[in-house]
Structure 1
Amino acid sequence: MPSLASLSNILSLLKRHLPRIAITGLALPLIVLPAYARAPLVNLGNATAAGEDSSTAIFDNLSHNIFDTPPLGSLYSLLSPFPSWSNHLTLLGAMGGLRTQMAKIGLVLAVQETSELFGNISGGFRRGAAYDGMTTAVLQLNTQRAFGWSGGTFQVSMEQIHGRNLSADNLGVYQTISGIEADRSTRLWELWFDQKFLPHHTLDIKIGQQSLDQEWMISNNALLFANTMFGWPMLPSADLPGGGPASPLASLGGRARYHVVKPLYIQAGIFSGSPAYARTGDAQKSNRSGTSFVLNRGIFAIAELQYARGELKHIASPEEATTLPYVYRLGGWYDSEPFADQYGDEHGIALSSPQSTGRARLHRGAFSLYAVMDQTLWHSHHNLSRALALFARVMGTPQSDRVPIDFSMNAGLTLKAPLPAHPYDVLGLGMGYTHTSHSLAQYDRAVQTHTNRYSPAQGSETFMELMYLGQMTGWLQLQPDFQYIFNPSGGIPNPLHPTRRIKNIAVFGLRANITL
C-alpha cells in the first residue's frame, strides 16, 4: 500500500504542475504554428453516431455549432457571471471572424489541446510523476460548399506532442496508461479524401494517409477512458510492425464503406503493411515528421461488419421500452509482412541457446479476429442524458509462434449524467487484460535455462481504471483518473533490480481537454 509520504509527494507534484498544464494548454496552440493535437478524437467521441467515424462526427458538430452557445455541464451556475466565451463550444469562438469566413468556403478548423499529469505512487521500477500533452489541429474541406461537388470531404491534420512518457520512464507496462503518450514531435497525422456515392450516400470511399484507430475496432464508450488500450487495442499495438497505423502514425491506403441496410454496414480497407520504412527500432523516430508515405512494406488488409440501433429517444410505445441502443462490430485483419519467431531460429533452436544462429525464423504474415460491443443497459425516461452502458472488446490470434501477444480484451461500464445537474459528465469503470503468447513465454524459460539469469516466463497483465469526465464549460473537460496495473508486462524483471519482478502499480492522474 502507498505510504502517506508517497501520497503527499504526488499531491505536491500535482499542485506544482497544474498551473503548467493550464498555461501550456492555452499558450501552445497560439505560439507554435503547427502545434496541433488529436485529443478531440478521444474524449469527444461519445457523440459519434453508429456507423460514423469519430473525426467526421466531431466536424459535423463543429460545423453546425461552432458559433453557438451549447448547454453547459458541471459549472453552469458558477460560470454564468463570466464573459460569454466561457459558454462557447470552443475557447476562441469565431477567432475574430476567421472561422466565419472559412465556413463560407466550406472549411472547418478544429484545434484541441490535451494536457495531463500522471504519477505512480507505488510499483513500477521507479516512482514519480510526469506531464505530457498533445495538440491536434484538423482542417476539413466540404467540397459541396467549396466547389459545388457533392459528397466530397478533404481532411488534413497535424499533431504536436510534448512532455514526458510516464509509462516508458517509470512503469514498464504493456498497456500504457495514456493514449496520448508518444515520442516528442511535430508531425503530419492524416491526409485523405473521402467521396460519397449512390443515393442517400450509402457508399463512401476514403483514400490517403489514414489512422485506423479513428474508425476501426473502436468502442465509443471506451474512448472516454485514458488508458491507451481503450482506443487502439493491445494486440495490434504489440504485434503489428511499428505498432500499426494508429496515432501518432498513419498509413497510406484506401477504405470502402457500404451501408447494406439501415442498421447494417460493411467496410473493408487495404493499407501499407507498416507505417514506417525501418524494420527495427522506434517507428515514430524513423517517421518523425509523419511524411514517410510508405509503399514497399507489404499490405495490411482489414474488414469489419457493424450492426447498430440508433440513439436514445423518448419512449412512445411499450415495444420501444424493451429495445435499447447498441452497436456490434465483428472484424479481422491480415498483415503480409514477415514476422519473427518468438522462440527459435531457422532450425527451431531456442534463440538464447549457444548453438543458435541468432537469426529468428521468419513467418509470412499474421492475422487476428475481433469483436466489439457497445450496449446501453438502461436510461432514464425523464432525462435521456442519463444512461448506463456496457462495452466489451475481444481480439485474438492462433499464431502465437510469431507474435508477442495472442489475446487482449477490455470491458467496462459508463454512466452518463451521474448527477442531475451534470448532464454531460461521465463516470466510468473499465478494465483491460492481455496475454503473452506461448512462444514468448517459452523463450523466457529458455533464457533462464541457458544463461542462469533470472527470467520468469511472461504471462498476463491486467489493469483497472476509474475515471470521472467533467464537462466544465463548452470547451473544457477535466478528468480525474485512477489506474491499477496487476503483474506489469506479464511479470518481467525490474530493470533496476533484475532479480525481482516489477511490482503492481497504482497511478493517479488528471487530464484536461481544451477545445480552441
Structure 2
Amino acid sequence: MLFLSLNARIWKYRDWSLAVPAAAILAVAATSPALAQSVAPATATPPTAGTAQANNPAPAQSDSLWTRDKLLGDLGGVRSALAAKGVSFNVLETSEVLGNPSGGIRQGAIYEGATLMSLSVDTQKLLSFPDGTFYASAYQIHGRGLTANNLDNLNVVSSIEAPPSTRLFELRYDQSFFDGKASIRVGQLAADQEFLISQYGAFFVNSGFGWPTLAALDLPEGGPAYPLATPGIRLKVQPTDQLTLLAAVFNGNPEDNGSGTSFRVNKGVFAITEAQYAINGGDHPIGLPGTYKAGVWYNSNASADQRQVYEGLPLSDPAASDASLYHSGNWSAYAVADQMVYRVPGTKDQGLGLFFRFMGAPSDRNLVDFDLYTGANYKGIIPGRPDDVAGAGLIYTRVSNQTTQLDMEPGLYSGGGYPNGRSETVLELTYQIQMAPWWTLQPDFQYVFNPGGSLPNPNDPAQPIADATVFGLRTTIQF
C-alpha cells in the first residue's frame, strides 16, 4: 500500500528526458580564475538613473565580472533606468547533476534545472500609489529527477525536482499598512515562500529542508508549494519588532493545470497560520540572533483512511476494493527554530547556526504522520572565504501506523505481508562556494536510509529498496 500511495503522489515525475548534458553545469566553472581564491567584495555600486546623472555622469566605477551582483550587470543602464521607475526583473538559473552509484531501484545520473523569471513593480514609483507591490514569476523546468527515476524515496533529493514545464508560478499584489506593520497579499500564491521556512535549512539541496515532506505527501498535489501556486490571500501583522503573525487561506487543491493559469478556487480550502518570534535582530544586535516559529494548517478536502477497512476486510480483498473509507479534513502542527550559537568576532552573520523543525499529523488519514529536520551551518568556515557556507543536515520521516499495518496484510505483496521499516532517514553534507556575487557552486552528498520506509524493490519485491548513496553538484546563476 505504501508503494502504491507513494507512486500515486509522484506520478508526475515519471518519464522525463535528459534535456541538457551534464557538462553544461561545469562549463562556466572551467573559466573561473578564482576557484580557490576568496571572492572580492562588491565595491562598485550601480549608478542611479535619472536626468541629473545623464547630464552629469558619475565618475567611472568598476563593473568587474567578479564583483557585479548579476552576470549581465546593468545591461547598459537598462536595469537602473527601470529601477528608477520602480520596476525590477530577475532571472535565476539553478542547474545540477545528481547520481546514485549505489542503492535505489537502479543506479545512474541525471541532469535537471529550473529557470526562475520574476518581475516586481513598486506602485509608488510607477503609479504614485503608495505602499503597493505587484509581483509575477514563472518557471521553466527541465531535465529529469533522481528520486522519481532511480530512488523511489520519500524525501525528494532535490528541491527543484518537478515535471518539465514552462508555467506561471506566483501572480500577486501586496499592500502595506501602518508604516509596514501590516500587509495583505492576494493573487496566485505559494505557501512555501513565507510559511514553514527554516533560515538555515533552506540552503540544503534535499527538498525536505524546504517545503516539508509530510506536507508534500499528505496534502492534495503536495499543497501550494513549488511548482504549484494557487489562488489565495495572506494577512501579515507585526505588532512588535520581535513578533510577526501570519495567516493565509488558499484553494485547497492546486492540482496541476499545465501552464499554471487556471486559477481554480473550487477545490476546498487550505488554511495556515504561523507565529514568529525573533531575538537579537537588527543591524547591531547585542546577543546572537534567532527565530522561533509555531503554526498549524488545515485542509478541508476528504482524506482516505490509510487502513481502508470495510466490514473487516482489508483493501487487498476484492470485496473491499470499492469501499474506501474517508475522513473529513486533515490538519498538522509544526514548530521551527533557527539559532546562531557562535559568531565570528567583528562580523554580522559569519559563524555557526543550528536549526530544528518538526511536524506531526493524524496517523489514520496520512501516509506520513511525523517528520523531523535538524542540522548546522557554518558561514565562513574557511579563512579568506567569508561567504561560503558548509552544512550538515538530517531528516527523519515516519510512515504512519495505519499504512504500516496495511503493508503487513498477508497477500498484499507477493510472498505474503511485508514488514515495513516505518521510516526513512536522510543525511546530507553540503558546501556552497560563492564564486561571485551572482554565482554559486554547491557540491553535495546525501545518504538515504530505508528509501520509502523500506519499500519493496519493484524489481525484486522480496527485497526492500537498498540504501542509496547520492553525489551531486548544483550551480546557481543570477543573470
**Which interval holds the TM-score relative to the shorter structure?**
0.7 to 0.9
The within-5 A match list for 1:443-482 is 443-448=406-411, 452-453=415-416, 455-482=418-445
Please tell me whether the aligned partners of residues 186 and 233 of structure 2 are also in contact (alpha carbons under 8 angstroms).
Answer: yes
Match of 1:257 among 233, 236, 245: 236
TM-aligned CA distance change 1:96 to 1:348, over 3 Å = farther
Q: Secondary structure at the match of 2:404?
A: helix
- The answer to whether structure 1 residue 331 and structure 2 residue 335 are counterparts is no
| Aligned equivalents of 1:353, 1:256: Cα separation in 2 | 48
- The answer to whether structure 1 residue 376 and structure 2 residue 332 are counterparts is no
Please tell me whether the aligned partners of residues 385 and 423 of structure 1 are also in contact (alpha carbons under 8 angstroms).
Answer: no
Offset of residue 385 of structure 1 = 4.1
Offset of residue 456 of structure 1 = 3.1
| Aligned equivalents of 2:246, 2:350: Cα separation in 1 | 31
Runs of at least 5 residues in structure 1 that lack an aligned partner in the other structure: 1-15, 26-61, 69-81, 277-283
Please tell me whether the aligned partners of residues 372 and 395 of structure 2 are also in contact (alpha carbons under 8 angstroms).
Answer: yes
| Aligned equivalents of 1:110, 1:447: Cα separation in 2 | 55
- Match of 1:133? 113
| Aligned equivalents of 2:22, 2:66: Cα separation in 1 | 20
Offset of residue 327 of structure 1 = 0.2
Moved more, 441-450 or 136-145: 441-450
| Aligned equivalents of 1:423, 1:227: Cα separation in 2 | 24
CA RMSD of aligned residues (A): 2.2
- Match of 1:434? 397
Please tell me whether the aligned partners of residues 46 and 80 of structure 2 are also in contact (alpha carbons under 8 angstroms).
Answer: no
- Match of 2:315? 351
- The answer to whether structure 1 residue 183 and structure 2 residue 183 are counterparts is no
Q: Number of aligned pairs?
A: 434
| Aligned equivalents of 1:86, 1:212: Cα separation in 2 | 34
Please tell me whether the aligned partners of residues 299 and 335 of structure 1 are also in contact (alpha carbons under 8 angstroms).
Answer: yes
Match of 1:147 among 106, 127, 143: 127
Match of 1:396 among 360, 367, 385: 360
- The answer to whether structure 1 residue 407 and structure 2 residue 370 are counterparts is yes
Letter paired with 1:179? S
- Match of 1:196? 176
Match of 1:208 among 187, 195, 206: 187
Identity over the aligned pairs, expressed in percent? 42
TM-aligned CA distance change 1:451 to 1:115, over 3 Å = closer
The within-5 A match list for 1:307-318 is 307-311=277-281
- The answer to whether structure 1 residue 248 and structure 2 residue 227 are counterparts is yes
Letter paired with 1:401? D
| Aligned equivalents of 1:343, 1:266: Cα separation in 2 | 37
- Match of 2:268? 298
Moved more, 448-457 or 129-138: 448-457
Runs of at least 5 residues in structure 2 that lack an aligned partner in the other structure: 1-19, 30-41, 49-61
TM-aligned CA distance change 1:449 to 1:231, over 3 Å = closer
Letter paired with 1:484? Y
Offset of residue 497 of structure 1 = 1.4
Letter paired with 1:211? A
Letter paired with 2:300? S
| Cα displacement string for residues 332-363 of structure 1 (whole angstroms, at most 9, x for unaligned residues) | 00000011111114545321123314331111
Match of 2:24 among 15, 20, 34: 20
| Aligned equivalents of 1:501, 1:67: Cα separation in 2 | 60
TM-aligned CA distance change 1:360 to 1:458, over 3 Å = farther
- The answer to whether structure 1 residue 227 and structure 2 residue 206 are counterparts is yes
Letter paired with 2:400? S
Q: Secondary structure at the match of 1:85?
A: coil
Q: Secondary structure at the match of 1:87?
A: coil
Offset of residue 448 of structure 1 = 3.6
| Aligned equivalents of 1:205, 1:218: Cα separation in 2 | 19
| Cα displacement string for residues 268-292 of structure 1 (whole angstroms, at most 9, x for unaligned residues) | 111110102xxxxxxx4xx211112
- Match of 2:247? 268
TM-aligned CA distance change 1:390 to 1:447, over 3 Å = same
Q: Secondary structure at the match of 2:381?
A: coil
- The answer to whether structure 1 residue 386 and structure 2 residue 382 are counterparts is no
| Cα displacement string for residues 229-258 of structure 1 (whole angstroms, at most 9, x for unaligned residues) | 010001100000001010000111100010
- Match of 1:76? none
Letter paired with 2:115? T
TM-aligned CA distance change 1:297 to 1:244, over 3 Å = same
Q: Secondary structure at the match of 1:260?
A: coil
| Cα displacement string for residues 24-53 of structure 1 (whole angstroms, at most 9, x for unaligned residues) | 99xxxxxxxxxxxxxxxxxxxxxxxxxxxx
| Aligned equivalents of 2:147, 2:46: Cα separation in 1 | 36
The within-5 A match list for 1:17-96 is 17-22=21-26, 84-96=64-76
| Aligned equivalents of 1:490, 1:267: Cα separation in 2 | 34
| Aligned equivalents of 1:24, 1:296: Cα separation in 2 | 46
| Aligned equivalents of 1:24, 1:162: Cα separation in 2 | 19
| Aligned equivalents of 1:366, 1:153: Cα separation in 2 | 33
TM-aligned CA distance change 1:147 to 1:171, over 3 Å = same
